[in-house]
Amino acid sequence: MSKNRDDFSEPTKRNLARRVNYKCSFPECLKPTEGPHTDPNKYLSVGVAAHISAASETGPRYNEDLSEAERKDITNGIWLCETHARMIDKDAKRYPVETLNEWKTISEGIALKELEGIKAEEKVANPILEAEIRFASGGQTNNGFNFAATFKEHGGKGPISPLQKLYNFTQHWHYQLVIYNNSTKPAFNIQLNNNSPLTYIEKVSKVNNLAPLESMKVDIHLDKPFVGMGKDSSKIIKAFVPKDLIDKTVELKYLNENRDEIVSILTFEEDGISNKVLVSKDEE
Ligand SMILES: [Zn+2]
């Protein structure tokens, strides 16, 4: 037979429980441990006054240096739900004395704040911005005959029909970038950083925000030179998104209510853009 267990007294157990408002002290749990029983004169309890250092020699985290009084003292106890009381005893190595004391400090701190009427800090959900492009206008502008290119192409040998002449074109792809806030959280200080050949991105005002489920429009252009025949240029400008833009990105940066930065990467694809939302590491 093992030695007597140095169990807590009833008042000690009650004090442990009340100091954390009858909630499990495991920080990821914090669940209530007491509630009503079907018998109106009883209550249902799944709370345990667990020993930090075991009550008997063979138990977890047993410390032979403690006196019987110290082992029974409230400083050697922690209030947990039945599941977490069992958890800390099944793997004492993972849950050493220091850890359990930390939990106790945290959960008593939370109970005090709740008692004082201070709400626990709410985890801020992040806004999510996503975008799509809508074709606004496009085409080619003929800037005139390019003698040098035509001469090079045909070696100066004539006659050259007008259809064989090479011209200086500017090819245009103008879109509206529509940015949506696909979340229930506002986004602040939206910025666009161009990592693509786009030649124009409409400036957004320095201080801005996008309310939940709202959208904003930004004009973006790609204007690029092309030297060649009209029919070749016409072929190229038929593409909804030209080759030059495909796989290139525009970064959409914005802040949540806590001013943490979030980035949506907009990548051009043949038929539009794809969205990827990145949240900084210390966030989620
Ligand atoms: Zn628990």
How many angstroms does the Cα of residue 87 sit away from the middle of ligand 1?
9
How many angstroms does the Cα of residue 29 sit away from the middle of ligand 1?
5
| Phi, psi for 215 (deg, rounded to 5) | -135, 160
What mean pLDDT, rounded, does the chain reach? 91
How many angstroms does the Cα of residue 81 sit away from the middle of ligand 1?
4
How many angstroms does the Cα of residue 79 sit away from the middle of ligand 1?
9
Average pLDDT in the 218-245 region?
Answer: 95
Least confident of 10-14, 132-136, 278-282: 278-282
Residue 157: band (very low, low, confident or very high) from pLDDT cuts 50, 70, 90: confident
Residue 283: band (very low, low, confident or very high) from pLDDT cuts 50, 70, 90: very low
pLDDT at 255: 94
How many angstroms does the Cα of residue 71 sit away from the middle of ligand 1?
23
Question: 60, 125, 122, 130: which is closest to 96 by C-alpha?
Answer: 60
Alpha-carbon span 284 to 280, nearest angstrom: 8
How many angstroms does the Cα of residue 90 sit away from the middle of ligand 1?
14
pLDDT at 117: 85
How many angstroms does the Cα of residue 104 sit away from the middle of ligand 1?
12
Residue 159: band (very low, low, confident or very high) from pLDDT cuts 50, 70, 90: low
How many angstroms does the Cα of residue 68 sit away from the middle of ligand 1?
27
Alpha-carbon span 216 to 202, nearest angstrom: 12
Question: Residue 189: CB partners within 8 Å, gap ≥ 6?
Answer: 206, 207, 208, 209, 253, 254, 255
How many angstroms does the Cα of residue 265 sit away from the middle of ligand 1?
40
How many angstroms does the Cα of residue 23 sit away from the middle of ligand 1?
8
pLDDT at 1 over 60: no
Alpha-carbon span 283 to 281, nearest angstrom: 5
pLDDT at 156: 66
Distances (CA, A) of 233 to 96, 142, 168, 192, 265: 73, 10, 10, 30, 30
Average pLDDT in the 47-74 region?
Answer: 95
How many angstroms does the Cα of residue 86 sit away from the middle of ligand 1?
10
- With 0.75 as the threshold, say if the pTM is over it: no
Least confident of 52-56, 114-118, 236-240, 270-274: 114-118
Domains and CATH numbers, the chain: 10-116 (no CATH), 129-279 (2.60.40)
pLDDT at 280 over 70: no
